Structure formats: structure tokens, C-alpha cells
Structure 1
């Protein structure tokens, strides 16, 4: 551990958010454009609003509870858990989490497993758990499956869930795949309203993933454009982000997906400067169009939610529960 790390000026590993010094040393351009992009998203407002003539559907999003249950889960219509219910992934530990989830009054509950939930993947299941079964108690467990649910007011939502995740551990980790061969292409139904995965999309800290997400999943999200995408896995990436699937977003993703040039080389002209200018130009156009032509609340965009409740690597739950009205 270096002195700068000890002083808290540099992060300890890639699972922690970069410090200000980290960001400047990696790429001042990426850092500045990310701030500008965040401001542009804020100025464009909420991605969507519930319909005026029908009751809203309240979606409560959680993930990465890792055996813990000491969290206040708000009421709602749909409860989604995006994986990593446990640490060890034993049948007993998973059943305890299922019992906890089943105790909540939400009309519908959706679950995908995380890489720590070994039991769900036969190839990762512990020898002592082979032959054991789980009682899901009405919880809808999705493994590359789609499900349409009915809600009050005649409303319906189609939800697709998948547990697959880029390789990040040993054979005891569930549903891992080689980063070079992502399994997502043309797998999600085009009419999906809510996508639930354990891994975040993208790479190079595009979308709440600290550079640990999957670019292959991002391509699939661009194709389908679900209204809501719920995931977890990267604890320090928790939060929510609007996505518009427009030229501004594409320019931003193009820039941050490029290999960082470092503190000095970033100040010499390169193609990233062009991408940065496009982010600004398209972003300003989007803000002006939204407020002059569409008006407040007129967006028809999407929302990404990293619902991880585990507070970093502290071993305790501390992140707020994400609630979305659709």
C-alpha cells in the first residue's frame, strides 16, 4: 500500500470509487466530461413519469444484501432483488433470505441470483447442497426468463431477468462467463419493460459500474431500451442514472470507453476532444429541446438503478433502498 493510498488520496482497488486524484491521473478529460454529462442529465429532468389516467406502479429495488436483513424495505407493488442474497451461497443461507423476502407485503416479487449465490448454478453448487431444494414462497425467480405481471388499474409490466456475470472469481461463483464472449446478444425480449440483471452494463464507469460492468450487456440494453434496468454487484456504484439512448449518450459512452491517456497526454489533441465536444453539443441541444419543445415531465427515457444495499466492502447494509414509480 502506497503512502497516497494510506492517506486516502488513491483508492485501494478497482472495486472502490476513484478519488479526485485517481480521476485526474487517469484522465482529466474523462473526469470533466463526466461532470458535464451529469449536469446535462440533471437539466433534462426525470426520465419518465407515471401515467396520469392510471395508478402508478411502485417498484422497490434492492440487491447485494449478503445474508443481512437489517434494512427498512418501503412498501410498494413490486419488490425486485437483483442478486447476491448471500455470501457463501448455501441452500440454507439462500432459504433464510427467501423467507425474509416472502415476509414483505408487496403484490409481486422478482429475484435473480448473484455470483455469490452458488446454489442456483449447478456447476457452482457446494457438494453438501446437491439434492437440496428451496421453497420460493411465491417469489418469481428468473433465469433468462420473461414474465408479465398484472397490477391495479389494468396495468401490466413485462420483466426479464438473467443472472449471468463476467468472470470475477473462482469456480464457486455462479453463472460466470468470459468477458470476451458475453451471452447477451438478442436474448432480451424487445418489449421488456423492466430488465433485471446482477451485473451492471457498460465499462469504464459509464453506468454505475466503476468500469466493472459488461459492454455486451450495454449493447443489448441499447437494442431493447427497457424503461427500467435494475442491477447490483458493484457496491460503491449504487444509485440511479437516466439514460436517453440518444447522440449525447452515444458520444459520452464512446469517449469513456476509450483507453485513458493519463494526466499529461490528455492535454495534447486527440480524438477524445472531438467526442467531448459532441457530448456538450448534443447535450445542450437535448436540454433546449426538452424545455422549449417538450416541457417539464415530457421525457420518455429510461432509468438505470444500481440497487446494491451493501455499503462498499464494510460488511454492513448502509445504502438507501431505491424506489421507482412507473
Structure 2
């Protein structure tokens, strides 16, 4: 059986349902991998399930979906998932095995890029001659209020207040947010907050209104706020998000036609969106169009949510290193074996490393540790992954 299996893979370019890419330029490696995989599956008493795979047809705009996760997973995929070796769906972080099967090169470059960001230090420091503005960032609370919200000057909620998006559920969240003493509060809705989008609003909610209680709701517009010490911040908010659900989801757009180009004011200090930009705290599910708009505007702080497992913060420098990293990760992954054969991704990895080392040297020798030249992205999702409970720490940023 092994020879027949290998011959079919070699002849027609088949791959398994869990994306074991066996079609590589080395027949010995093909045979070795096939025999090893056969042994593992036989030991588990599962028959292999094969599906046709065309490497030129990758699912739209996300490297994570190159895994070819199926609605009805194959037996070996179910076993590996049950053992915790593979993730269940695109909304969970890839395991080490997932990352290796997708692209060892992408995994290596991501680790290197994270180290380079760490070596370059914090993106900015508050001004010494004026009071810092403390920004408290929330997102994806999904009807829950058991969150310890730290004090601050500005409270931001980046969407998905609720699950069902009804007027009553949203009002309960507004009442909760209004109870905090922050000087300013800003809200952008998420795809689950269907009441805010007339095309997604439930019939029983038509005609109802909300009491925002001093909370500023931003939808494709900006506001300039004043803080102590005479400081001012311009904040732009938009709820638009790549289509990810049915008609009950709010403010969805076709991923192939992002609406972001030249929409954000160039002098924006804080950008708030529900969707993440591509390649940053997004598990590969973010929007490439939003990323390009962020490159154009370069806000000091970008707050978003939506992808729960992407929670955290990441420095962005808008330099050659970042562009090289994004370009490399955007390339279709080649799989566990083919990544080890020479291809253009190797050159991209060297660019990331070279530009990154240059950035570290420039940072410490020319600008110094107190340099105030970069920006910060924050995924403020409070929901702990797909568990249905809150658990992520609240992100606090001093500007």
C-alpha cells in the first residue's frame, strides 16, 4: 500500500486533509515521510483520508487556512487535535506542529522578528514636561462585566460588547462602562453588536434607542479630546470588518474590497477598529487593506480586538524590517519539506534579519533608549480565547 500511496501523491499532487505536503523535489524524502505517516496512522487504527490539493489555490488572504481545516475533520486530524497537537479551527493559535507543517521558515522568521522587536525596546515614552495620558483598552467583553478595569484618563472599548447584539444587551454594557470614572470613554462596535447596523438589526429592536450616558460612539468619524496639561488627542473609530458571519453580523465587507483606503485622517493619534490589521496579533485573519491604511497614517496607538487569541501588544516601527516581515509572511507557505529547498523566502528572511539588526543598532547608538519614534498595536480582547469566559488582562498604555 505504501508504494501506491506515494505514487499517487507524486503523480497527481495530492495531500492529506491535514495538509501534509509530500510533493517535493526529492523522491527519497517523499517516501520516508509517507512511510512514517502510514505507520503513525496505522498504529492509531485510522485510515488515511486524502483530498485533492492544488498549491496554486490557497484560501483567501490567510496563511492559517492553508492548513485546509475541514468541517468534517479526517480521522488522523481528529486524533492529532484530541492529543493537542493540532488546533481545532482558524480562530485558535497554531500549535508547534501546525506552524511546522505550514512553514518552518515563517515560524523561524516570526521568532526572529519578535526578538528584534524586544531588542529595540518600547515604542515611545510619555513627554517629560506634561502629564502622561493613561489609556485603558477593552474589547470583546461579550455581555460579561466581571472585569477589573484600572483607573485612567481614557477608556476605549473596541467592540463586541455583546453576543446577540440586542438593544437591551448593549444597553447593559453601556451602563457598565458608564459606571467607571474615566474622564473620556470611546466606543466602536463589533460584528456581534448588530443593533448598531441597520441592515443587521433585529426586527424586534427596530424603533428602540440607546442611552450612551456620555460615552462617545464612533462610526467612521473622529473626535479630538482634551486632557490635563493642555494635551489633545485625535481619535478615529470604525467598526468595519471582513465578512465572517451571516446577515446578523454588523458592518461586514467583502475581504477582496476593503473600504479603508484614505478614510482615516492623517493626523490621527489613536485609531480604533474592531478588526485587526493583517499580520499583527491576528492569527492571520486580519485585513490587508487596513494594514495599508495604518502604514499611511501611522497612528501612535491602534486598538482593536475580534481575534481573541491574538490578545496582547506589539510595537510597530513602519520601517524596512517591518515591511520585509509582512511581505514574507504574506507569501503562500510551502510546507514542512519544501521550505528547506532554496526559494525567494530565504532572501526575504535575510532582509528581515539585516534590516532588523540595523534597526537595533540605530535605536541604541543613534536614538537611545528614550527614542519616541514608533507606534503600538493593541489587541484588547478580554475573552480568553474561545472559552466563553473573560480572562485576558486589561491593556493599559501611557501616552
Partner SS for 2:376: strand
Describe how 1:218-297 pairs up with structure 2 within 5 A. Answer: 218-297=291-370
Deviations 1:87-144 (A, max 9, x none): 0000000000000000000000000000000000000000000000000000000000
- The whole-number CA distance in structure 1 between the counterparts of 2:348 and 2:216 is 42
Report the alpha carbon displacement of residue 33 of structure 1 after superposing the two structures with TM: 0.3
- The whole-number CA distance in structure 1 between the counterparts of 2:122 and 2:286 is 24
Q: 1:12: which partner in 2?
A: 88
Q: What is the Cα-based RMSD across aligned positions, in Å? A: 0.5
Asked if 1:217 corresponds to 2:290, the answer is yes
Report the alpha carbon displacement of residue 296 of structure 1 after superposing the two structures with TM: 1.0
User: Would the aligned equivalents of 1:60 and 1:321 in 2 still touch at CA under 8 Å?
Assistant: yes
Report the alpha carbon displacement of residue 76 of structure 1 after superposing the two structures with TM: 0.1
Q: Which runs of 5+ in 2 are unaligned?
A: 1-72
Q: Which runs of 5+ in 1 are unaligned?
A: none
Q: 1:86: which partner in 2?
A: 162
Runs (4+) off by over 2 Å: none
Partner SS for 1:266: helix
Report the alpha carbon displacement of residue 54 of structure 1 after superposing the two structures with TM: 0.2
User: TM-score, normalization: structure 2?
Assistant: 0.81
Report the alpha carbon displacement of residue 299 of structure 1 after superposing the two structures with TM: 3.7
- The whole-number CA distance in structure 2 between the counterparts of 1:287 and 1:247 is 12
- The whole-number CA distance in structure 2 between the counterparts of 1:177 and 1:193 is 25
Asked if 1:308 corresponds to 2:384, the answer is no
Describe how 1:1-326 pairs up with structure 2 within 5 A. Answer: 1=73, 2-202=78-278, 206-326=279-399
- The whole-number CA distance in structure 2 between the counterparts of 1:159 and 1:191 is 9
Deviations 1:28-87 (A, max 9, x none): 000000000000000000000000000000000000000000010000000000000000
- The whole-number CA distance in structure 1 between the counterparts of 2:388 and 2:87 is 18
- The whole-number CA distance in structure 2 between the counterparts of 1:97 and 1:145 is 22
- Give the count of matched residue pairs: 323
